[in-house]
Amino acid sequence: MKEKLEKVMTATKSVAKNMLIYGIIIISVIASFIVGYTYHKLTAKNVEHEKEIVKVRKSDVTIAIDESHHLIIINNNTGDYTVYQDSIGKTIFKLYAANVWGQHSSISNTIKP
C-alpha cells in the first residue's frame, strides 16, 4: 500500500511540475501579447489631415453632370475641372432639382374620394 501511495505521489508531483511549467509559459505568452498590443496602441500616432475648404463664387464655376451621373465642377477662369463620383452627382442634382421646382418645403396632401 505504501508503494502505491509513493507511486501516486511521484506521478502527481510530475504532473503538477509539468502543469506549472506549461502554465508559466502560457501566462508569459499572453502577457507578451498584451504588452505588445498596449505598446503599439500607445506609440501609434493617428495622423489627422487638415480639411481644405475652398470658397468660390457661383460665377467662377460651372457645374455639370455627365451621362454616367458624375458631378463635374469646371473652373471658368482656368478651365480646370474636378470629377466626383456618381453618388455625389445624383445627390447634388436631386437637391438642385428640388430647389428649382420648390419641392423642398412643399406639403403633400392626400385627397380621399
Q: Is residue 113 part of a domain?
A: no
Please choose, from the candidates 39, 80, 50, the residue with its C-alpha nearest in 3D space to the C-alpha of residue 62: 80
Asked if 40 and 5 sit in the same domain, the reply is: yes
**Predicted pLDDT at 30:** 96
Tell me the per-residue pLDDT of 31-67, one tens digit each, with 9 for 90 and over: 999 999 999 888 888 778 888 887 888 888 888 888 8
Tell me the per-residue pLDDT of 75-107, one tens digit each, with 9 for 90 and over: 888 889 888 888 887 887 788 777 777 655 555
Asked if 41 and 69 sit in the same domain, the reply is: no
Asked if 41 and 67 sit in the same domain, the reply is: no
Cα-Cα-Cα-Cα dihedral sign, residues 89, 94, 96, 100 = positive
Q: Is residue 108 part of a domain?
A: no
Q: Which domain holds residue 64?
A: 58-100
Q: Is residue 27 part of a domain?
A: yes
Q: Is residue 109 part of a domain?
A: no
Q: Which three cell numbers stand for residue 17?
A: 511540475
Asked if 41 and 63 sit in the same domain, the reply is: no
